[in-house]
Chains A and B, each alone.
Chain A
Amino acid sequence: MSAPILHANNITMKFGGLVAVDQLNLKVFKNDLVGIIGPNGAGKTTVFNMITGIYTPSDGEIILEKRNINTERPYAISQLGISRTFQNIRLFKDLSVIDNIRLAGHQGLTYSAMSSIIRSKSFKTAEKKLTEEAIDLLKIFKLENKKDFLAKNLPYGEQRRLEIARALATGPQLLLLDEPAAGMNPNETNELSELIGWLRDYFKIAILLIEHDMGLVMNVCERIYVLDYGKLIAHGTPGEIQNNPKVIEAYLGTEVD
């Protein structure tokens, strides 16, 4: 097996006396599709926040392609190729759908602030290219006919899709999805699970996702990490996880003798 693109080596996150994540080891390989599951409060989103630089791990190291990114700021980590969505959707609500996407293409643009003020040629060509790329991406997500809508006026399922599209527009090599199916009906969830697998193949990226919908996780993910009270209690293929007694205990509790 080749080296992992992301390697979380014994990362720990303490908030005062509370240990939210305890010595977690996690590896994501190229083109991987990995799930993190666990009961509420298990520390799943905290793991995401550490990887994306919102929190700095209290201990351990996060390595992205041989580079320690523990103390990098979130924007720098995004520029290094890790992009994410949020559990409670965070779109730029008062901006249009296409501007949400165009903003994510920000790093690819090289023109200076001055050239946008004097409307130079480099500004115009770069903006035109950016808009075309944004429309192409919106087509993939079937949002191109709503490109001028304000993001806040989209229905919930489309807001979720737009957020994934925006994360992809940064050109990541690793995409983190935080409960992408939250609030979706079974139909939308099915569509989403197809979309996730397709995105991985089409964009040739690795995907790490947190999800409560077991159907989706078991369907889509190739490997699953199970967290409980911040500790890794199981790791394996969906088949192995489903029959793991520790996992069943974490979700359903132990039998009373």
Chain B
Amino acid sequence: MEYLAHLTLNCGIFIILAVSLNLINGMAGQFSLGHAGFWAIGAYTGAAFSVFSPLPIPDWMNLFIGCGIGGISASIAGILIGIPCLRLRGDYLAIATLGFSEIIRLLIVNMDVVGGPRGFTNIPKWANLGWVYLWVVITILFISNLMKGTHGRAIISIREDEIAAESIGINTFKYKLMAFVIGSGFAGVAGALFAYSQQFIHPNGFNFLWSVIILLMIILGGLGSITGAVIGAVILTLLPEVLRLMGETISQWRMVIYSLLLIMLMLWRPQGLFGKKELNLSALLGRKKS
């Protein structure tokens, strides 16, 4: 039972990470590979707050303050990284953000006050399933509502055609940065929640492989679809575990099967499960939207 709860909780954290990365990669079309870096910043600042200076208030209030601290520090890092890096395009941006996330990880390894290479221990258990999923809902509502307004449309227009967006008066740099900062902020929140639920964090838990896995989640679900990001996060979090349960042979080959499934998906459905579409309940029920 505890194992199941643990998995569900991980799903929630990865949903936040995937939905926030989707804002940067899928909506604004800016190829960022540094999401694990922002996740780490959120985790370590949130954990540092809980270990060194928790306030004498109920845990759940501390949790919200901690998530706020994690999110805001990751956003500030997003501004600092975004201003120089977002002038780059495509692969170059990917390399720059990848480099940044590795710098963050190495800084943490060399910071003894947060445990350095030994990892950060004794973090209080403030988060449980309920709090994590409350944040999942906040993240999804925040980003999907943002996308319905003019700011969200401006962010999508950058992905569609940057020159045309500029030609109709959209300050593309400002909106790229907006997407980047909001996306990295929610990654920071996910980091704080991760710290408060695991009670132990280690710099190697935030290496660049995780940036790639989060990227895989949104590609699997369909770049640009929030629903897709959620489904992608759930599938890629559960798949290795499900394969582990399916007998010894499959369990031993599970990473191979996992990779093969990804290759097959990309061959048959390169736009991802959802493409750019959203799952729409009223459309599912056959009702026509007014």
| A interface residues, Cβ below 8 angstroms from B | 52-54, 73-76, 78-79, 83-84, 86, 90-95, 99, 102-107, 109, 111, 113, 115-119, 123, 126-127, 130, 166-167, 169-170
Q: Is the CB of A113 within 8 A of B160?
A: no
Q: Is the CB of B160 within 8 A of A94?
A: yes
Contact A75 B161, CB 8 Å, known A106-B154, A109-B150, A127-B149: no
Bound: A157/B87 CA distance, A:
35
* Residues in B neighbouring A94, C-beta threshold 8 A: 160, 276
* Residues in B neighbouring A90, C-beta threshold 8 A: 161, 163-164, 167
Q: Is the CB of B167 within 8 A of A116?
A: no
25 A-B residue pairings within 8 Å (CB atoms): A52-B167, A73-B166, A74-B163, A74-B166, A75-B167, A75-B171, A79-B169, A83-B167, A90-B163, A93-B161, A94-B160, A95-B157, A102-B153, A103-B154, A104-B169, A106-B154, A106-B170, A113-B151, A116-B148, A116-B151, A117-B141, A117-B142, A117-B145, A127-B149, A166-B168
Assess whether B8 is interfacial by the CB under 8 Å rule: no
Bound: A118/B154 CA distance, A:
18
> Smallest distance from the beta carbon of B161 to chain A beta carbons, Å?
5
Bound: A93/B167 CA distance, A:
15
Bound: A104/B160 CA distance, A:
14
Nearest A residue to B171, CB-CB: A75
Instruction: Name B168's contact: one of A104, A111, A115, A117 (CB within 8 Å).
Output: A104
Bound: A99/B149 CA distance, A:
11
Bound: A73/B170 CA distance, A:
10
> Smallest distance from the beta carbon of B207 to chain A beta carbons, Å?
32
Nearest A residue to B158, CB-CB: A92
Assess whether B222 is interfacial by the CB under 8 Å rule: no
Bound: A113/B152 CA distance, A:
8
* Residues in B neighbouring A102, C-beta threshold 8 A: 150, 153
* Residues in B neighbouring A107, C-beta threshold 8 A: 169
> Smallest distance from the beta carbon of A222 to chain B beta carbons, Å?
25
* Residues in B neighbouring A91, C-beta threshold 8 A: 161, 164
Q: Is the CB of B145 within 8 A of A116?
A: yes
Instruction: Name A54's contact: one of B152, B163, B170, B171 (CB within 8 Å).
Output: B163
Contact A113 B149, CB 8 Å, known A93-B160, A166-B168: yes
Bound: A95/B157 CA distance, A:
8
Contact A78 B167, CB 8 Å, known A95-B156, A113-B178: yes
> Smallest distance from the beta carbon of B135 to chain A beta carbons, Å?
15
* Residues in B neighbouring A105, C-beta threshold 8 A: 150
Instruction: Name A170's contact: one of B150, B157, B168 (CB within 8 Å).
Output: B168
Assess whether B146 is interfacial by the CB under 8 Å rule: yes
Assess whether B199 is interfacial by the CB under 8 Å rule: no
User: Other CB < 8 Å A-B pairs besides A54-B163, A106-B169, 5 of them?
Assistant: A74-B163, A86-B164, A93-B160, A103-B165, A107-B169
Assess whether B62 is interfacial by the CB under 8 Å rule: no
Bound: A90/B154 CA distance, A:
15
Contact A83 B161, CB 8 Å, known A103-B154, A113-B178, A116-B152: no
Bound: A75/B154 CA distance, A:
12
Instruction: Name A95's contact: one of B146, B160, B171 (CB within 8 Å).
Output: B160
* Residues in A neighbouring B169, C-beta threshold 8 A: 75, 78-79, 104, 106-107, 170
Nearest B residue to A115, CB-CB: B149
Bound: A105/B153 CA distance, A:
11
* Residues in B neighbouring A104, C-beta threshold 8 A: 168-169
* Residues in A neighbouring B148, C-beta threshold 8 A: 116
Assess whether B172 is interfacial by the CB under 8 Å rule: yes
Q: Is the CB of A106 within 8 A of B150?
A: yes
Bound: A211/B164 CA distance, A:
20
Bound: A76/B170 CA distance, A:
8
Which A-B residue pairs are the 7 nearest by beta carbons?
A116-B149, A78-B169, A74-B166, A92-B160, A90-B164, A104-B168, A113-B151
Bound: A127/B169 CA distance, A:
18
Q: Is the CB of B145 within 8 A of A106?
A: no
